[in-house]
Structure formats: structure tokens, C-alpha cells
Amino acid sequence: MSINRAEKITMGTALAAILSFALLQTFHRGLYGTLPERLYLFLHSGMELLGFAVSFTMLVLGWTFFVRTLSKHRLYTAALFGAVGLFDLLHSLTAAGMPFYRMIGAMPMSLLFSKAAQLAGSLGVFFIFRANDGTVSARRRLPVFLTAFVVSGAFSLALFRLPSGAIPLLGAEGHVKLVRLALESLIAVAYIGTIFMVLYRNRNERPQALLTIVQSLVFFLVSDMQFMLCAGAHDSDLLIGHVYKLVGYYFLMKGIYYVTVEEPYRQYKRTESRINFLAYHDELTGLSNRRLLKEQLNEELRLAQLNSARVGVFLFDIDRFKTINDALGHSFGDRMLQAVSDRLRLEVDGANRVYRMGGDEFVMLMPNLEDGEGAVDERAKAIMGMFDAPFVLDDAEYHITISLGVSFYPKDGDSVETLLKNADTALYSAKAHRNEYSSYEPEMNRKTHDRLRLESDLRRAIDEEQFALAYQPLVNLTSGKVVGVEALVRWHHPKRGLLPPGEFIPLTEENGLILQLGEWVLGAACRQNKLWQDAGLPPMMMSVNLSMRQFRQHQLAERIKAILEQTGMPPRYLELEITESMTSDVEFAAETLASLKELGVQISIDDFGTGYSSLSSLKRFPIDKLKIDRCFVNDLAKGGSDAAIVSTITDMAKNLKLKVTAEGVENDEQIQFLRERNCEEAQGYYYTQPIPANLFENWFRHRSQLA
């Protein structure tokens, strides 16, 4: 166990007290002597008054400073030493040569008050620190302090009114010595017990204030041991004992000072430092934030203007980070951001600075950037190269890419706001392709404006139902029969005409409209399939894609069940398509898919082969079909790796008792290859492109007649 600085100081202080006591006893014969009465009285009274001042100060602090942080230990200690201070004051006033001096039997009253103070202090702290600390109401102050003063005052008054011979035990000198030795032994045992108890109860974490109190208890213990050795009323041993007691009061006061002044001040400074840090840094990653970026970029622009230099603003974000958050949860996303920040901090050149703008957006500021596109390309590739190596989280590797937008001073703007806005515009241009970087060009503003307008139109389109479904058949390769269709959404834009999904689906995923659109697609597809069945077409499977957000939607199974009940379509004719990325969180995916299967629907994994699902997790999912992505089907006739991948997928599916559908089929060679590999179904332009419901019905009837 490591020893901190406060513990070392406590050990050193205790050792110094013990060694000084041992040295005094070693040279006791030469140091011992009797002081003149007046000198002793002066020194003794001064030290007792100092002790009373410390006790009174503790009382005042307990009444005033601890109001907001009042605890049992602080309240009872303040009240205790208020009583101890009273006994010390009366001990001084009743000493030989003072106005209230008197004897009770063979014992001076001052000695009784001295032992009362020591006994109350030693036993009091023992019982106070024996119990657990805890907060108490400020209303408890008055009752506790009154009790302490009433008890100590009543005891003091009783001693003053006690006749000289009222205590027979104190009538003889020998008896007085025995009583004194017994009291001093009890006091010593109480101090020793308190020291060990405090250290043991706080063995895991030893606060500095408690350690300082332990130091005071050590000196009180040595003081008591010194009192045991004194033989006369005015000897040096008695005075040295009072010196030890005064040192104990010093450390006690030091502990109180630490609790009331130093510790709150340090806490205030820590809080102030934390507030200042958070004002200019991101709490999650520790990187500089947007506010500091603006201040420092503004300063760099001022210097660049003086030196005719060029400043680069490189804004980048993580590709598909929303998918990571949706699939693996926001806590995992936060850990990914922290890992990205740690890598940036380690790998970024000291001349450049990195900032977190918010979300998954980061900025790298590059002052004094060299002229020429080559320098920009080099810097951009260096930033993107930082993400080549995978990130290891929970013993798993995750590969991520970034998109990067760049703007420059003075070419693309001469103010902080303009440069950041233009870098953001360039970033949106790069994100159209992902894992790319783009430098700002003025025409990008038009594209950004078009994108914003399209997003606005999209919200209106959902309200006005400007969407329609197109259907692409799924054909059994053995029988040639149409066994199903896939519903694909299209947008009939009032001004731009028919828009394919690629132009608006990413927007709906970003702004959350995919949930509304997804439910509309599912309902429209189920209604259409029921209409075809009612019109006499044979029952066929209706395939509908689920987005990531839909898949993680609360009560997804209940929503789909409600749509099936509203449309009247049997669940066995609905096939829900998910992607491999949705199954990254294996436990969640398995639970969600199980709830969907309970409805009686079919489940397929779309674009299989392009994700990261493992066979060990795949066999846990209640799926019915794998759909081979079109990128593997395109070059089947040429052989090579694509043909090997398709063969592997079909063999694996057969062993797992799963169906296989090949997407993007366009020619006879592909059809022949897939048949030879026992692929059950195919869809693509070989049969027809996605067509509206009325055209599909005509196409189906025509194909059935030819067959």
C-alpha cells in the first residue's frame, strides 16, 4: 500500500514526539529543576490561556463555519473542547498564587480541574470517533453545546462548593498520588485507543484533517506521560508537559483550520479550475472545444494577416457514426469518440491543434500552411491515415473511416465563422462518397442549399404522402415462378420528378423521418399484397427493408403486428429485410428478431457479405434467408474472388438450412452460375426493373400466360 505525503508527515510528527520524550528522559537528571514560583506562574498561566483560546476557537468554528457541512464528529468535538477549555481556564485560575486557589483534602483544586480537562478530552474523543460520522442538522448545535456547558459548569460549581474534607480518598498524600496515577493511566489508555481506532477505521482512505488530529493526540499522550513523571508543583517536568499539551493544541487547531479554511479553499480552487477547463474543453474527450477554437483561430488569422501566411481549417467527422450509436448504443459511441480523441492527441503534430466541435465532428487547425494543392493533399491524407489502424474496444477491432472538408484563409474567407461554415460545406460534399476529402468550392453552397431545401420538402412530402412504392420480383431459379416481390420506395417530388431512394433515404435517416417513412412503406406494401391476393394473384412473399432506426425502435414487434392487423395480410407473407450492421449488438439483435419471429413473419439478411457478422453470432439469429449483395453478382461470369464468395455463401446457407437470393442479376451467365450453385432465388433487371403496382400486376399476368 502506497503512503501519501500526509501519512508520511503524521509518521514523522509522531516519531519526533516520541524521540523528544525519550531524549528528555535520557537527560532528565541534568534538565530537571524547580522554577521560581512567579516565573512558573507566568509561563503556566500563559500556556493555559492559549489552550483555552484554542478550545474557544474550536467552539466558535463549530457554531459558525460548520453550519453547511455540520457532522457528528465536528459538532461533538467542538462542544467537547468547549468544556475542556472551561476546565483549562479554571485550572489556571485555581493554581497556586492565583485568586481562586484552594485545596480539597491533600489535592489542589487546580489539579482536579487539570485531570478533568485531560480525562474529558481523552475519553470524549474516544467515544466521538468510535461512532460513524454523519451529517446533522444545524438545529442540533444549541442542544449539544448547552448540554456540554451545563455538565461542565455543574461539575465545576460542585468542585467550588465541595468542602475541603468531603472526599476522604484525597485526604492523604499517598492516596492522592495513587488517584493521580490512575487518572493519568486512564487518560493515556484512552489516547492510545483513540489513535489506533482512528487509523484503523480510516485504513483505506486517511483524510488529511483526521491525520492532523492523530498528530495532536500523540502530543496529548506524550503530555500525559510527562505529567506522570513530575514530582513537584513547580518543576520543569510539569512545565514540559504543558508545552507538549500546547503543541497538541496547535495540531488540533491545524486540523480544524484545514477543515474550515484550507480544504474549502482547495475545493473552491479545484472547482474554479474545473469550470475554467470545461469552458474551453470538451468534457467527454478532454479536447479543446468550439469556444477555444474560435478564440485561437481568430488569433491565428490575425497573425496570418500580418505575415501574409495561409491557415487551413480541416473539419472531419466519422462516417456512419449514427449507425454505430444506433447499433451499439450511445455509451459505446462515447467510448469510440474517446478512443478517436486519444489517437488524435498522440499522433497530431505539436504545431497543429485538434478540437471537438460536438457530436462526432472534429477540427484540426493548421497555421502557416504551405501553398499548393500538394501540401493540402499531403495533410488531408495524413489525417485520414490516422484511421487506417482499427480501434480495439472490448477485445474487438472496429474499422472506421472519416470524411474531411477543408477551407483556407484567405482564399475561402477571412473570418472564423466563414471559414468554419465553408469547411462544413466541403465536409458535406465529401460525405456524399464517404472516406473522402474535399476542399471548399463556391458552387458547393448551391448544393448545400439544395440539400436543405430537399430536407424541408421531405417533411412536407411525408405529410402529403408524395411517396409511392415500386416492386421488383423475386424468381425461383428452379421453377421460374415468381415467389415474391421487394417493395422499394420512390418519391414523386412536385418539381424534381421521381427521385430514387439514394437521394432522400440518407436524409431521412439523419433527421429521424425514416421512422415515419418506414411505417408508411410497411403499411402500403402489406395493403398492396392483400389487394393482389384479393384480385386473384397467387399469394407471394412481400419483402420490406427495415432501417437501423426502425430496428432499434421501441416496441417494433407490436408496431408491425398492428400494421398486419390493420391491413389484414397474413404474417407468413411478410419478409423483413435487415442488414448485417444491425446485428452488431448480438444480444439485442437476437432478442428483437425473436420477438419478430413470434409474429410469424420471415426474416432475411440483405446485402450479405458486405458487413461484419460472424458465423458464431449468425447461427443465433432466427433468420430464413440470405440475400447476396449485387457487388458479388456483377462479375460472376468472370470467375475470380466474387464467384468464390458466392459459392461459399450458398454452401454455408445450405448447411445452415437457409434460403439464398441473389440481387442484381442481369444476364443468362449469372443465372446459369447461380443455378449450378443451388441458389434458390434471384432478382434484378434480368426480369424487370422496379415497377409500380399496376404495371407489376400486368407483368405478372403476362409472364404467367407465357409460362
Residue 208: which residues within 8 A CB-CB, separation 6 or more?
6, 258, 263
What whole-number distance in Å separates Cα of residue 44 and Cα of residue 234? Answer: 9
pTM attached to this predicted model: 0.51
Residue 497: which residues within 8 A CB-CB, separation 6 or more?
none
Q: What is residue 104's predicted lDDT score, i.e. its pLDDT? A: 79
Q: Which 3-state string (H, E, C) describes 284-331? A: CCCCECHHHHHHHHHHHHHHHHHHCCCEEEEEEEECCHHHHHHHHCHH
What whole-number distance in Å separates Cα of residue 438 and Cα of residue 100? Answer: 95
What whole-number distance in Å separates Cα of residue 183 and Cα of residue 165? Answer: 20
Same fold for the pair 44-160+177-273 and 290-440: no
Contact 62, 77 (CB under 8 A): yes
Q: What is residue 378's predicted lDDT score, i.e. its pLDDT? A: 85
Q: What is residue 690's predicted lDDT score, i.e. its pLDDT? A: 92
Q: What is residue 171's predicted lDDT score, i.e. its pLDDT? A: 59
Element (H, E) at 353: strand 353-358
- Locate cell 468531603: which residue? 166
Cα pseudo-dihedral 443, 448, 454, 456, rounded to 10: -140
* DSSP string for residues in 466-483: -EEEEEEEEEETTT--EE
Q: What is residue 188's predicted lDDT score, i.e. its pLDDT? A: 85
User: Which three three-digit cell numbers place residue 351?
Assistant: 504545431
Residues facing 604 on adjacent strands: 577, 625
Q: What is residue 46's predicted lDDT score, i.e. its pLDDT? A: 81
* DSSP string for residues in 107-174: EEHHHHHHHHHHHHHHHHHHHHHHSPP-B--GGGHHHHHHHHHHHHHHHHHHHHHS-TTS-GGGSSHH
Range 290-440: architecture per CATH: 2-Layer Sandwich (3.30)
Contact 343, 327 (CB under 8 A): no
Residues facing 392 on adjacent strands: 397
User: Which three three-digit cell numbers place residue 518?
Assistant: 418506414
Sheet containing 402-409, strands listed edge to edge, beginning at the edge strand earlier in sequence = 353-358, 361-366, 311-318, 402-409, 437-439
Residue 638: which residues within 8 A CB-CB, separation 6 or more?
none
Element (H, E) at 394: none
Contacts of residues 107-112 at CB distance under 8 Å and 24 or more positions apart, as own/partner, are: 107/170, 107/176, 107/179, 107/180, 108/233, 109/159, 109/160, 111/180, 112/159
- Locate cell 459548569: which residue? 153
CATH fold of 44-160+177-273 reads Rhopdopsin 7-helix transmembrane proteins (1.20.1070)
What whole-number distance in Å separates Cα of residue 438 and Cα of residue 418? Answer: 17
Q: What is residue 564's predicted lDDT score, i.e. its pLDDT? A: 93
For the chain (length 707 residues), average pLDDT per consecutive 10? 70 86 80 75 79 77 66 81 85 81 79 84 84 79 88 88 70 71 85 83 73 83 81 74 83 68 67 81 89 91 90 90 80 91 81 84 87 77 89 85 91 91 89 85 77 80 87 92 93 86 81 87 94 91 91 89 93 92 82 92 83 62 88 76 85 87 90 89 92 92 75
Contact 388, 306 (CB under 8 A): no
* DSSP string for residues in 357-387: EETTEEEEEESSPPSSHHHHHHHHHHHHHTT
Q: Which class is 461-696 in CATH? A: alpha beta
User: Which three three-digit cell numbers place residue 259?
Assistant: 477543515
* DSSP string for residues in 410-438: TTT-SSHHHHHHHHHHHHHHHHTTSS-EE
Helices (H), 512-637: 514-534, 548-551, 556-567, 586-597, 615-618, 630-633
* DSSP string for residues in 19-35: HHHHHHHHTHHHH--B-
Q: What is residue 609's predicted lDDT score, i.e. its pLDDT? A: 64
Q: Is 264 exposed, middle or buried (0-12, 13-18, 19+ CB in 10 A)?
A: middle
Q: Cβ–Cβ contacts within 10 Å for residue 510, how many? A: 11
Domain boundaries, the chain: 44-160+177-273, 290-440, 461-696
Q: Cβ–Cβ contacts within 10 Å for residue 391, how many? A: 16
Q: Cβ–Cβ contacts within 10 Å for residue 419, how many? A: 26
What whole-number distance in Å separates Cα of residue 663 and Cα of residue 579? Answer: 14
Strand 361-366 versus strand 353-358 pairing type? antiparallel
Tell me the CA distances in angstroms from 396 to 49, 584, 591, one per residue in order: 70, 11, 22
Cis ω on the peptide bond leading into residue 570 (within 30° of 0)?
A: no
Residue 694: which residues within 8 A CB-CB, separation 6 or more?
none
Contact 393, 343 (CB under 8 A): no
